[in-house]
Amino acid sequence: MSTFVALLRAVNVSGVKLTMAELRSTLEALGLTDVQTYVQSGNVVFDATEDDPAAHTSVIQSAITAAFGLDVKVLVIGAADLARIARTNPFLDAGADLRTLHATFLFEPVTEEAFAALEPPAREGEQFALGEQLVYLHLPHGYGRSKLSNAYFERTLRTPATTRNWRTVTTLVELSSPHA
């Protein structure tokens, strides 16, 4: 049995409504176990016998479309991988205020060359770094005031993405770690 975290893109924002209770029921009907959701923005922790995150991504995305008629992008990450992502945030060693940290998870990998070619509209003090299929963000002025948004990275890196604040990332690590 392996533990995974599913991140749903743009759920309960922009008019895409999906209750977490209905989502849990739908995923349990797929045979996933110990299904837990965190906040209303589409964060799910679950256990499964299948070890392939890509297989879970496809099955969950199809189930959401079939059950709710919604075209929701899903990214599934292994619990151990998410814990490693959280440990290797380069802004933690610099002593950044955890409230200023975010992670933009990319649905497709990007090359370091493509990332280095970005000309971001960052404000003074804002920083970002490429991780394993994600962008670490340090936004001391707040996410809502930054132009380093999910839409910016989707547009410039040409891949769907979903952003979580650092509290959500660490909570998902905690929820998935008893099983990892």
Give the up-direction half-sphere exposure of residue 125: CA atoms within 13 A in the CB hemisphere. Answer: 11
Per-residue pLDDT tens digits for 19-47: 889 999 999 999 999 999 998 888 999 99
Q: Determine if the pTM surpasses 0.75.
A: yes
Contact of 57 with 74, CB cutoff 8 Å: yes
Could you give the angle at which helices 79-87 and 166-176 cross, rounded to 10 degrees? 140
Domains of the chain from N-terminus onward: 2-81 (3.30.70.1280), 82-176 (no CATH)
Looking at the predicted structure, is the pLDDT value of residue 180 above 60? no
Per-residue pLDDT tens digits for 137-177: 999 999 998 999 999 999 999 999 999 999 999 999 999 99
**How confident is the prediction for the chain on average, in pLDDT?**
91
